[in-house]
């Protein structure tokens, strides 16, 4: 299951993403976690050494390597230069899994407590004024397009804050989106903005309330998000300790808050995977990118890379998964 955690900056989406990933891994599920936020804090939230994690190679700096690996022997993508972040897989493409091995993935991912972690990388001095953060996140979008995952596996992506995810079609790459929401007008405003953008694309969205102090907070969220409210987490001594550097076993999270994390996992699994929709939307956004800028840059019609009838999930059992 591919899962996005989104929300207003400071809402606690990174904390919730880390709790979800750590709980799923503790229960024995294969888990991949990716930090796709411009503020790179997921590593520390997962319990990794933040300074050591910051020194590792990042996805955004290896987009060309990822393209070259993922295109495989697909005859419609004869070179990495003709591969966009939206390029969908086809016959000959290399499909990857949450267990992916090999030199490239071993360089980009590190394992911690059963979680395979990678980061896009934040802005560096050379990026200022000349680079867009979406170019870095493009590595994640391309990876998701070629990643085959099952219902008992979880790919947890901590997204950029606010509605910035809609700058590309990446928001359609997820089986479920969890929007972490504080009981404030600004936070529910992000939810309504997100909902408005997503409503034409059948995006499954559940709201997790956070930093809840009392019933008035719950009532406020129910008034503004209605049935989308999956549950809510109260202010947590466990989380406060984690933010101060003491990341204890996830089972020590307050029982009522842990129950919300479990409910999120159950909601995601119950929703299942829709590979036909995943593929259809991948094709739609690839056509958009090709028409908007890709064709002009490449000098060819990149929409020709789309293979009608090729549905990613239907090839799960007989495609070459590396």
Nearest to 3 by CA among 28, 27, 26, 29: 29
Nearest to 138 by CA among 64, 188, 224: 64
Query: What is residue 122's predicted lDDT score, i.e. its pLDDT?
Result: 65
Q: How many CA atoms lie within 13 A of 96 on its CB side?
A: 23
> How many angstroms separate the CA atoms of 83 and 86, rounded?
8
Query: What is residue 38's predicted lDDT score, i.e. its pLDDT?
Result: 87
> How many angstroms separate the CA atoms of 232 and 215, rounded?
11
Residues paired with residue 144 on neighbouring β-strands, in sequence order = none
Query: What is residue 321's predicted lDDT score, i.e. its pLDDT?
Result: 40
Structural domain boundaries in the chain: 2-315
Q: Do residues 204 and 176 make contact, with C-beta atoms less than 8 angstroms apart? A: yes
Indicate yes or no: pTM above 0.85: yes
Sign, CA torsion 250/251/255/258: positive
For residue 134, what pLDDT band results from cuts at 50, 70 and 90?
A: low
Q: Is the pLDDT of residue 318 over 80?
A: no
Query: What is residue 47's predicted lDDT score, i.e. its pLDDT?
Result: 94
Sign, CA torsion 93/173/282/274: positive
Residues paired with residue 208 on neighbouring β-strands, in sequence order = 180, 231
What mean pLDDT comes out for the span 43-71? 92
The CATH classification of domain 2-315, taken from the options 3.30.930.10, 3.40.50.300, 1.10.357.10, 3.40.50.720: 3.40.50.300
Q: Do residues 115 and 25 make contact, with C-beta atoms less than 8 angstroms apart? A: yes
């Amino acid at each position: 299951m591919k899962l996005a955690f989104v929300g207003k900056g400071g809402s606690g989406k990174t904390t919730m993403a880390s709790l979800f990933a750590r709980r799923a891994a503790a229960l024995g599920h294969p888990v991949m976690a990716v930090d796709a936020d411009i503020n790179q804090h997921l590593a520390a939230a997962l319990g990794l050494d933040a300074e050591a994690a910051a020194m590792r190679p990042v996805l955004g700096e290896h987009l060309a390597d990822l393209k070259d690996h993922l295109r495989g022997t697909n005859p419609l993508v004869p070179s990495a230069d003709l591969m966009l972040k939206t390029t969908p897989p086809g016959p000959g493409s290399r499909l990857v899994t949450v267990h992916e091995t090999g030199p490239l993935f071993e360089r980009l991912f590190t394992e911690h407590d059963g979680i395979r972690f990678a980061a896009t990388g934040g802005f560096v001095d050379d990026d200022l004024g000349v680079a867009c953060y979406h170019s870095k996140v493009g590595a994640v979008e391309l990876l998701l397009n070629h990643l085959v995952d099952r219902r008992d596996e979880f790919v947890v992506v901590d997204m950029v804050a606010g509605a910035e995810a809609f700058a590309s079609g990446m928001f359609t790459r997820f089986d479920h989106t969890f929007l972490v929401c504080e009981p404030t007008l600004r936070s529910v405003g992000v939810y309504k903005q997100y909902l408005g953008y997503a409503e034409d694309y059948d995006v499954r969205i559940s709201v997790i309330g956070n930093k809840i102090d009392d019933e008035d907070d719950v009532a406020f969220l129910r008034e503004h998000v209605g049935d989308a409210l999956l549950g809510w987490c109260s202010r947590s001594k466990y989380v406060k300790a984690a933010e101060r550097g003491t990341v204890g076993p996830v089972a020590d999270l307050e029982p009522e808050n842990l129950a919300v994390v479990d409910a999120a996992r159950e909601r995601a699994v119950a929703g299942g995977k829709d590979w036909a929709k995943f593929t259809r939307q991948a094709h739609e956004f690839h056509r958009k990118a090709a028409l908007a800028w890709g064709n002009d840059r490449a000098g060819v019609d990149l929409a020709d890379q789309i293979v009608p009838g090729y549905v990613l999930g239907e090839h799960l059992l007989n495609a070459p998964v590396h």
